[in-house]
Amino acid sequence: MIEIRGHHLLCAVTFTGRGYSRRFERDFRRVVARMNDNEEMVIVAGPDAICASVKDCADSHCHEDRIVARDRAALAEISALTGRTLDVGSRLMPHDLFTARHRTAFAEGTIRTACADCQWSDLCDTIAADGFQATLLDRR
């Protein structure tokens, strides 16, 4: 089962292989491959499978209040989009979540409040504007 934090349900749709470090990129690639295989996900509080290599680093932001708030915002908007309340402990299947509807909402900005102060936001804007063509997550 993939442990995933709330805001990574947004990051996954634009992941093209770039990240904070080579180890972070490696971890993210492994998680996306598991998502593409439709392995069940469980929402966790704090660091998840993507954060595995950086969660204990001195400069990691994994535990900061602003990142925890980002998780809450992402879960609230994705819950509204799907009509299903998502919270810590919720389980879901990647192929049920990462749909054209999810990508459209992301591209339109209706599920991106959590992205407001993210350093990757401009890159994600570009990826979404290009129709998510370069992403590693399957486009269903």
- The phi and psi torsions of 121 (rounded to 5 degrees) equal -55, -45
Long-range contacts of 6-9 (CB under 8 A, 24+ apart): 6/43, 6/70, 6/71, 6/72, 6/73, 6/74, 6/75, 6/78, 6/86, 6/114, 7/67, 7/70, 7/71, 7/73, 7/74, 7/114, 8/48, 8/50, 9/43, 9/74, 9/75, 9/78, 9/97
User: Do residues 46 and 68 touch, judged by C-beta distance below 8 A?
Assistant: yes
Which pTM value belongs to this model?
Answer: 0.92
Distance separating the N- and C-terminal Cα atoms of the chain: 21
- Sorted by where each begins, the domain ranges of the chain are 2-129
Can you give the pLDDT of all 140 residues of the chain as single tens digits?
A: 999 999 999 999 999 998 878 888 999 999 999 999 999 999 999 889 998 876 555 566 777 788 899 999 999 999 999 999 999 999 999 999 999 999 999 999 999 999 998 999 999 999 999 999 999 998 76
- The predicted pLDDT at position 38 comes to 97
Helix, strand or coil, per DSSP, at residue 85 = coil
Contacts of 124 (CB under 8 A, 6+ apart): 11, 14, 106, 115, 118
- Tokens found for residue 122: 């401009």
Number of H helices, E strands in the chain: 6, 3
